[in-house]
A and B are shown apart, each in its own frame.
Chain A
Amino acid sequence: MISILRSMWLTFLHVFHKTETVEYPEVKPYLPPRYRGRIILTRDAEKKERCVACYLCAAACPVDCISLQATEDEQGRRYPEFFRINFSRCIFCGFCEEACPTYAIQLIPDFEMAEYDRQNMVYEKKHLLISGEGKYTGYNFYKIAGVEIGVKGKGEGENEEKPVDIKELLP
């Protein structure tokens, strides 16, 4: 008897509490920047694609929902010919973002991806690629990597010496 009354009293007290209901979709909830939602591909500060098509995201993906094909431009810069994510399979684990060596693939706080047709959950590169740098700014893989693909010459990268002159005879 006492417990029933106690429960009723506690319930009654809730009349004076602040309401927790969010009027979604009119009111959007706050999501922290590190929330793992929709996946995007980003560009570096020079507006060039960051993705170098290394296949690490695809390899890290536990549900195998990323597929891509690497290709190269005239200067040897590697980029994905196509980049496809099947979001109907994606579990938003963020492994792809962790695996990405160039900050190209990022998960953003957007989860509004419902579709009537499952086929529309397949995102191609044109749907994924944004024009900005996303969460991580300032990083350009090719300024550090030793390869020469038009971003910098041999030996002009960060922490690199000038190319060796192999005809030099000094000991």
Chain B
Amino acid sequence: MSLEVRMVKITIDGKYYEVKPEKNLLESCLSIGIDIPHFCFHPALGSVGACRLCAVKKFRDIDDTKGRIVMSCMEPVTEGLIVSVDDPEAKAFRASVIESLMTNHPHDCPVCDEGGECHLQDMTVMTGHNYRRFDFPKRTYNNQELGPFISHEMNRCIQCYRCVRFYRDYAGGKDLNVYASRNHVYFGRHEDGPLENEYSGNLVEVCPTGVFTDKTLKRHFTRKWDLSNAPSVCVHCSVGCNTIASERYDSLRRIMSRYNGAVNRYFICDRGRFGYEFVNDEKRIETAQISPGKNKKPEPIENEQLLSSLHQLFSRNKKIIGIGSPRASLESNFALMSLVGKESFYHGISKKEYLLTKTVSDFLQNSGVHTPSLKQIEKADAILVLGEDLINTAPMIALALRQAARNEPDKEAKGKGIPLWNDASVRELAQDSRCPIFIATPFNDSLDEISKNIFHASSAEIANLGYAIALELDKKVPGVKTWGKDIQKLAGIIALSLKNAKNPLIISGVSSGVEGIIHSALNISMALLSVGSNVMLSLVLPECNSMGLSFLPGKSFEEAVLAAEDKEIDTLVVLENDLYRRASEESVNELFDRSNHVVVLDHLINKTTQKADILLPAATFAESEGTIVNNEGRAQRFYKAIYSKNQVKESWRWIENFLKISDENNSVSWNRLDDVVDSLVNELPLFSKLKKYMPDADFRMLNSKIPRQTMRYSGRTAMNANITVSEPKLSQDLDSPLSFSMEGQQENPPSSLVPFYWTPGWNSVQAMYNYLDEPDASMKGGDPGVRLIEPSGGSKNIYFNQAKGITEVQKDEWLIVPVYKIFGSDELSSVSSSILQRIQEPFVLMNQKDADMITLNDGDYVQLEILKISLRVKVKIENSFVTGLTGLSVNLPGMPFIDIPGFGKFHKL
């Protein structure tokens, strides 16, 4: 911030403080470090003054000794404000509020999953209420079954309204609401059933009591104080939300959101929160296996024998090919690249995905267009979404868009002198006014309700709209006008809106698989940049490390097949990649047939691992340290939560073994992660910031490592006593400055190394206030992660020529576009048992008219013929599709790789 913020002076309990004027008193006190009990206030949700707990005494002036009680969350800070938090009357008021809230609270903390990290427990202790004087019966409620993610126990509710304010107002959910009146107020659905919103898991953290708790945690319940935690990064999409991964008894117990002021802040989506269960799955590969011959069942093998087998495979003068993966860490991919050499390193993604990702990555590095963080997305005031189904491919960007939609009404509120934290008033004022959001996608999604103009059309038409907008903005953009009048008119409206905005934002992505969409989105941002606009461009990529992988030299999967055709491969190394999800079955089979030996490193059994001659257990994100780069270009490191005891090792450690065999000079010696990063930085200077901004393994606070375990970690001398009564030596973590211990400096570690939130008096997630500069701002010492690409001044005018659109639909054929699902389209999370319950069977979407034409009804099954693949799919009616266009679900369990958009035929079954 270049502008110095004018501070105001206020007096709290006789002491002077300088605080920011646009905050409320409660927020100001929390950021100074004065604890005021509160329930309904949440930094992301604002204040409504519903719970009456944050009462303080306000004095008129210095002579006023009597004062009056006000709610600090509804009190703006003004120059010369005099308040008292410690005033006996205010204290008694707060204690009596808690006492009355507790009259109906059930006597069940011991069996409540919130116990130990409960905001209500913290507040009760903070106000000093400790004895129940109320003798009358307690009110009770019946609970609801809310699906595989969330448990419901309404008796514990204290009516703070945080859940509906998050679910409805913040996340745009429809199916959770408040029912009944007076002291019978009830929070739930109109009937039993799964919570439909994609962010429902955040209710667990938002609810200050145990009404909404994590159902997946319940199956292996552990209290917060018993968890061993590590700062982690979500691996289920390209946004890279920060998470806390928690372990107990060698299994991953839960994922919580970890604050990162620039990325996800308080929330994560349900895929990220509940997708972790694949780490504990029974399909995990835990031992190295070797197959006695081609297509024979692999057998477990000991380390010594394994080394000798590897010797044959990796000795010199062998033709070795390495296939990397966009879901493996930067270090593992780089290790593989070092093993096989740049010429024989392949990215392991389809040619189409490779080209699109490469285009995106090159453009962001060279064009000078800024890629925004999620926080900057929330500040955009005109937004164009081009062909990306954000809710399903990058859910947190969709959530950020919902907040951005409020920027227009926020401006209005500011003009009328309403502070933005005054949530109810701002919403009342806003009504339906929103900032201009334009969405162009093949079909309807729930973001449509916040958009100003919706454009549902085929990918080619969407690309045309993009080219039209670019041409409208800058006449120099290459392009031939091939579109109709309606597109031209809409393009004019959108171009004007984008041009007039202070922070216009273009969002697109590679999920559509259409070059034209990406190119036109890049053209628009380039055109805006050339007219001097402060344009932001956010491009969604398919996987968690797609961006990082694109920074490494390499080629697409198809080229690996070509190379194999050229000359037979001695050894093929596949790194954490199920190739059958990347290319057609024949081409993958061909590659395997042309390879004499196949070495596969992966976490879970899949079709590719079944082809392996040597199968090695690779550590997941929860068992290893590594760096991944999100779609913004932000490199973030995840740390291991579990110390793996079997043969499971980080992929780069396995590959280092291969390297030692193949490289007789022993030029490589990687003992720990930092050594790999050193080599990476030497090789590719683009990554040099990694060294500067990420604490290395030697980092110490007060001469000690940062403990993963809480101070009250229990069972240390009993948890392994069934195996041997002598306590084992602590597991050592060479790769990070975190220790598997409860000893060490617990207070305020560097922001990227915060394993959990706890400060005295604050056991709940709200303890995070003490790790932030102030609520809702960045973390103390700066937000974690480092942006690898920054716009380097001066635009270079990179424009793309108009791509040839897909040709007209043939007779009896349908143009089929991909439809992604938040639950199911991602490989790893769809193994998770809770997510599995929300995954739909493979389906096609089409409009009613088309369905009538071939006499299909909603729920019928059809046989789909596409690219020599035949597939039984369910028909769903989705009327937002234009005629002749259908959508096919992508990558759901049981579906083969299908290269769409493409043309297919249906036969009714």
Contacts and interface: CB of A to CB of B under 8 A. Distances in A.
A, B bound: yes
B407 to A, nearest CB: 37
Contact of A154 (B140, B188, B226): B140
Contacts of A124: 722
Interface residues of B, number: 47
Interface residues of A, number: 53
Interface stretch (A16-24, A40-48, A159-167): A159-167
A108 interface: no
Contacts, number: 142
Among A71, A82, A122, residue most surrounded by chain B Cβ atoms (within 10 Å) = A122
Interface stretch (B174-182, B258-266, B514-522): B174-182
Interface in B173-194: 179-182, 184, 186, 188
Interface in B838-879: none
Interface in A46-64: 52-56, 58-59, 61, 63-64
B113 to A, nearest CB: 9
A155 B108 contact: no
Contact of A84 (B106, B139, B182, B722): B722
B330 to A, nearest CB: 36
A66 B714 CA distance: 7
B715 A66 contact: yes
Given A69-B249, A147-B153, A54 B141 contact: no
Interface stretch (A1-9, A30-38, A129-137, A138-146): A138-146
A9 to B, nearest CB: 53
A52 B221 CA distance: 12
Contacts of A55: 116, 222-223, 225-226, 714
B724 A64 contact: no
Contact of B110 (A102, A118, A149, A161): A102
B3 interface: no
B224 to A, nearest CB: 10
A54 B224 CA distance: 12
B48 to A, nearest CB: 22
A160 B222 CA distance: 29
Given A88-B725, A118-B725, A58 B137 contact: no
A119 B111 contact: no
A98 interface: no
B138 interface: yes
B226 A164 contact: no
A121 B725 CA distance: 8
Given A58-B715, A63-B717, A65-B717, A164 B180 contact: yes
B714 A168 contact: no
B805 interface: no
B168 interface: no
B115 A58 contact: no
Contacts of A118: 725
A155 B721 contact: no
Contact of B138 (A71, A72, A119, A159): A159
A163 B184 contact: no
B186 A161 contact: no
A59 B140 contact: no
Contacts of A52: 110-111
Contacts of A63: 717
A118 B109 CA distance: 36
A107 interface: no
B496 interface: no
Nearest to B186: A166
Contacts of A162: 140
Nearest to B153: A147
A78 B109 CA distance: 12
A171 interface: yes
Nearest to A146: B106
B482 interface: no
B476 interface: no
B140 A86 contact: no
A63 B717 CA distance: 7
Contact of A171 (B137, B138, B181): B181
Contacts of A65: 715, 717-718
A119 B724 contact: yes
Contact of B225 (A59, A121, A122, A160): A59
A116 to B, nearest CB: 13
Interface in A92-135: 101-102, 118-119, 121-122, 124
B318 interface: no
A84 B717 CA distance: 10
B283 interface: no
A102 to B, nearest CB: 7
B546 interface: no
Contacts of B414: none
Contacts of B107: 144-146
A138 to B, nearest CB: 16
A70 B713 CA distance: 16
A64 B141 CA distance: 38
B716 interface: yes
B110 A54 contact: yes
A88 B111 CA distance: 29
Contact of A146 (B138, B179, B715, B716): B138
A164 B139 contact: yes
A58 B110 contact: no
B223 A59 contact: yes
B155 interface: yes
Contacts of B220: 69, 71
Contacts of B66: none
Interface in B122-158: 135-143, 153, 155-156
A160 B142 CA distance: 13
Contacts of B142: 154, 163-164
A59 B713 CA distance: 7
Contacts of B722: 82, 84, 122, 124
Contacts of B225: 55, 59
A109 B136 CA distance: 39
B716 A64 contact: yes
Given A55-B226, A63-B717, A163 B110 contact: no
Given A155-B140, A161-B140, A171-B182, A147 B718 contact: no
Nearest to A144: B107
A155 to B, nearest CB: 4
Nearest to A156: B140
Contacts of B108: 145-147
Nearest to A67: B715
A54 B180 contact: no
Contacts of A78: 111, 221
Contacts of A157: 140
A67 B713 CA distance: 11
A160 B155 CA distance: 11
A161 B107 CA distance: 14
A166 B718 contact: no
B138 A161 contact: yes
Given A64-B714, A64-B717, A78-B111, A160 B140 contact: yes
B141 A154 contact: yes
18 contacts: A52-B111, A54-B115, A59-B116, A59-B223, A63-B717, A64-B715, A69-B249, A78-B221, A89-B717, A101-B109, A145-B106, A145-B107, A159-B135, A160-B140, A161-B138, A161-B140, A163-B140, A167-B180
Given A72-B218, A146-B106, 17 more contacts: A52-B111, A59-B223, A63-B717, A64-B715, A66-B715, A101-B110, A145-B107, A145-B108, A146-B107, A146-B155, A154-B142, A154-B143, A157-B140, A161-B140, A166-B179, A171-B181, A171-B182
6 closest residue pairs by CB, A with B: A146-B106, A67-B715, A54-B110, A58-B714, A67-B718, A145-B108
